[in-house]
Structure 1
């Protein structure tokens, strides 16, 4: 009996409204279980995977430019909010240590990216952006403005995020024996927020992102709100307010924008190089582990803190592991 070809499964003749309905349904069906197992960047990953499925089956859709640019601006504000006055003071007081650790991780990751580029494993600057540690969503957005392929960068970044989260979890169990199981606090998706600061934050995102587009700055829609947000927040002129429901929408938009650009050709190419990408990611984790060992030996920092501090990315998962470890 002949098996049905994958080519017969197509959304090419499906009405646009129905395609969006399929995308929403598949996104929810993937995001919910990922959230239940507390996977880092669950909304982004689920939305991206759903969009890839729709795109592969010829469901041609595109995220409107306006909402996508606004989503970038709000993500920039989110990054700015995480860099508060206390963190800046701590960084100034212990700047040699912060600088040494950051530079070391950057040198290691960039070197691996350059090697992958020279060996022509990936096109253009894709390998460099894909190997960049931390801020996976930011790196994906910035790569597009600097000659990288955001689809392959996303593949590299989120493979690394998942591997780092897995290894960091194992390491925390090896070095620390928790007294009790960590308690996870449920996310309040619709908290009460002050309307004024929320509207001001959205205005900053719209204005900053619009300036980034107007002046054609690479990754400007993200970077301008980020820089402006840091300045306004640290000078107490603005309280950056970003409720979870709003950021969930931003993550979904970015995930869809990335996933809808995938094609069967791109996926076949990624499948051919996945072993090399996984090997480079494993090497990056191992080298950062070596850096953690040096911190432990030279500065008498406890092993778990040293390892989590030098983990190349997955900041949310690393923060959860750090907070749940005694």
Structure 2
């Protein structure tokens, strides 16, 4: 597309650009779902936003709906932390604590190396390497000033590699007994009272986040409140697929629409080293899984899935359809997500400051 054509697209009415964005998003989601790639509902809109931005589009994801989408993401994470998972964390806390921080330490170490070698900026390298939920890491990275576009490239590259590897390992161990993801009931009627409760929590959290002006408050508030309210029986978190799809789309658009040609060129140049760091991290987690098998008597597939670095939703699907200790797997994944959310901002700032200090000395 020529420079003149890109300008003409940017000059078109916002309504025309939004229609083009919606059509592109649907096309990308369908293609990614057909290929059975994880997180298609977020990656599709992100790719659509990227294409529109490179073609000269000027629309941006509106702030208030984006804050609501963050709150819905927080509710989704809270829903995945039921009381049974918390009990499992408390029951096996010494083993979980050691395993969780071993994976986090390896991830942050690789992030520090990527920053030290100048592959990526310090905070971006840390958030991109963080082994939490990819969507949550992107939102947190954006809130704390890292480049969410490069973080998205790193996170979803790892999600694809980890999910593919976990699927392959599970299929090798369990044969053909590993089922795929369940079909989504898009038109199913939701439970209306829980849905109203969930929407109130999400909207209230988004408003609270705007008032507090605290980074990622729109996601952290519903996560914390949702876990407490859900596990005390005060509310039931209900998230219809269409609500999640819209929220994912808003988050994906907010990232994709900010891409530029220089960012894509930088990501392409860094990609071989990013992939190498992912492979090293997977190997390190495989070594930790072997230690769990030998020292704690955990069965091999449970240990491998529990220590897989990121892609918790994909790992949950694989674990649920395999003969493994599902509570242990989800307890490990959940504990690691919570630990990353708590330590990520501090570690990212620490590494970024150290890298900048070394650059000044040199």
Q: TM-score range by the shorter chain?
A: over 0.9
* Structure 1 residue 324, shift from structure 2 partner: 2.5
The answer to whether residue 260 in structure 2 is matched with residue 263 in structure 1 is yes
Q: Which residue of 2 aligns with 1:187?
A: 184
Q: Structure 1 residues 125 and 24 mapped into 2: Cα distance closer, same or farther (>3 Å)?
A: same
Q: Distance in 2 between matches of 1:249 and 1:300?
A: 43
Match of 1:250 among 241, 247, 250: 247
Match of 1:324 among 310, 321, 330: 321
Q: Distance in 1 between matches of 2:313 and 2:172?
A: 20
Q: Which residue of 2 aligns with 1:220?
A: 217
Question: Secondary structure of the residue that 2:47 maps to in structure 1?
Answer: helix
* Structure 1 residue 181, shift from structure 2 partner: 6.2
The answer to whether residue 213 in structure 2 is matched with residue 240 in structure 1 is no
Q: Distance in 1 between matches of 2:291 and 2:171?
A: 20
The answer to whether residue 283 in structure 2 is matched with residue 286 in structure 1 is yes
Q: Decide which moves more: 72-81 or 295-304.
A: 295-304
Q: Distance in 1 between matches of 2:180 and 2:99?
A: 30
* Structure 1 residue 202, shift from structure 2 partner: 0.8
Q: Which residue of 2 aligns with 1:168?
A: 166
Give the conservation status (yes or no) of the 8 Å contact 1:124–1:147: no
Q: Distance in 1 between matches of 2:25 and 2:60?
A: 15
Match of 1:34 among 22, 32, 35: 32
Match of 2:207 among 210, 218, 224: 210
Q: Which residue of 2 aligns with 1:60?
A: 58
Q: Which residue of 2 aligns with 1:7?
A: 3
Q: Structure 1 residues 83 and 283 mapped into 2: Cα distance closer, same or farther (>3 Å)?
A: same
Q: Note the aligned Cα RMSD (angstroms).
A: 1.5
The answer to whether residue 228 in structure 2 is matched with residue 231 in structure 1 is yes
Match of 1:133 among 131, 134, 141: 131
Q: Distance in 1 between matches of 2:262 and 2:31?
A: 28
Q: Distance in 2 between matches of 1:231 and 1:66?
A: 25
Structure 2 runs not aligned, ≥5 long: 324-362
- Number of residue pairs aligned between Structure 1 and Structure 2: 321
Question: Secondary structure of the residue that 2:201 maps to in structure 1?
Answer: helix
TM-score, normalisation: structure 1: 0.94
Structure 1 runs not aligned, ≥5 long: none
Q: Structure 1 residues 167 and 23 mapped into 2: Cα distance closer, same or farther (>3 Å)?
A: same
* Structure 1 residue 134, shift from structure 2 partner: 2.3
* Structure 1 residue 183, shift from structure 2 partner: 5.5
Q: Which residue of 1 aligns with 2:149?
A: 151
Q: Which residue of 2 aligns with 1:19?
A: 17
Question: Displaced runs of 4+ in structure 1, greater than 4 A?
Answer: none
TM-score, normalisation: structure 2: 0.85
Q: Decide which moves more: 153-162 or 13-22.
A: 13-22
Deviation digits for residues 161-214 of structure 1 (CA, Å, limit 9, x no counterpart): 011111112222333323x56264311013222222211211111111221221
Q: Structure 1 residues 227 and 184 mapped into 2: Cα distance closer, same or farther (>3 Å)?
A: closer
